[in-house]
Structure 1
């Protein structure tokens, strides 16, 4: 399978399955530790210093981090359905001015060098056909 077919397959997987997963897990699709007393419909609570720009491969964690830290967040995904849903969730949470999502390739990101103070990727690296390029792109868009 070539890289173009792989990316198309990944986008189609998430386009077709995102609604089902959201019906089961809530408005996120990430696994992880959840405080037993926490609202499990939200992403895990994370402790970071205040961030201003954040980038999320896969788009799912960005609204929570934007909300909790007052950050401006951008997320990317290969799935048009996920990008549209993430923008809708951000708008529903009153975060449309802080969080935005687009369809883009994590191996060829549309962002300039050093754009983000925090780069966040969760459960997306396993889909990357070139892991070294993926990590290099994350490093490239992260501020020194």
Structure 2
């Protein structure tokens, strides 16, 4: 059984809703899934997982949350080389540039992305949450 860690940060709850949908999809494929708020996650969680999903909304000038999430991502980048990885998050302005840059950053560190990065505008609607479930399924199959 594949072990997946879904690690996220949320400020308004939108990305948390997405995280729960990713978990649901992965569990539908039989994966053993742990959902962790980023402050509860460790590098060992990432190292021991077969696959990881990382979720963070766009913040500030379209960037990852700087206090908790960015330092965690910087810490785990060496552990992502060759690991099945999914990225997701919500945004409320601009065009999702933060996700494009995050995808590129993860590709540069060798992460094996299962998708290009899933974004949802504001409060994720039913279609966005369904896409999150599909992302979780794809991650479990990877």
TM-score when scaled to structure 1? 0.34
Q: If each structure's strand is expressed as a fraction of its own residues, which one has the higher value? A: 2
Query: Based on CA coordinates, which of the two structures has the bigger radius of gyration?
Result: 1
Q: Which has the higher contact order (CA 8 A, sep 6+)?
A: 2
TM-score when scaled to structure 2? 0.35
